[in-house]
Amino acid sequence: MTPHWQTEAAVLQATVLARSLRHWTGRDLVPPTADPVALARQIFEAPFVLVAHGTEADPVLNYGNATALRLWETSWEQLTQMPSRLTAEAPNREERARLLATVTRQGFIDDYSGIRISTAGRRFRIAQATVWNLITDAGAPCGQAAQFSRWEFL
pTM: 0.94
Contact of 107 with 139, CB cutoff 8 Å: no
SS3 category, 9:
helix
Q: What does the pLDDT read at residue 101?
A: 87
**Percent of the chain's residues with pLDDT above 90:** 85
> What confidence category does residue 11 fall into, taking pLDDT thresholds of 50, 70 and 90?
very high
Domain ranges of the chain: 4-153
Fold that domain 4-153 belongs to in CATH: Beta-Lactamase (3.30.450)
Lowest-confidence region among 79-83, 99-103, 121-125 = 99-103
Q: What does the pLDDT read at residue 122?
A: 96
Nearest to 67 by CA among 133, 127, 152, 147: 147
- 13-48 pLDDT, tens digit each: 999 999 999 999 999 999 999 999 999 999 999 999
Given a cut of 80, is residue 117 above it in pLDDT? Answer: yes
CB count within 10 Å of CB 125 equals 13
Average pLDDT over residues 115-127: 95
Q: How far is it, in rounded angstroms, from Cα 92 to Cα 95?
A: 5
Given a cut of 90, is residue 90 above it in pLDDT? Answer: no
Contact of 134 with 143, CB cutoff 8 Å: yes
Q: What does the pLDDT read at residue 89?
A: 82
On average, the pLDDT of the chain sits at: 94
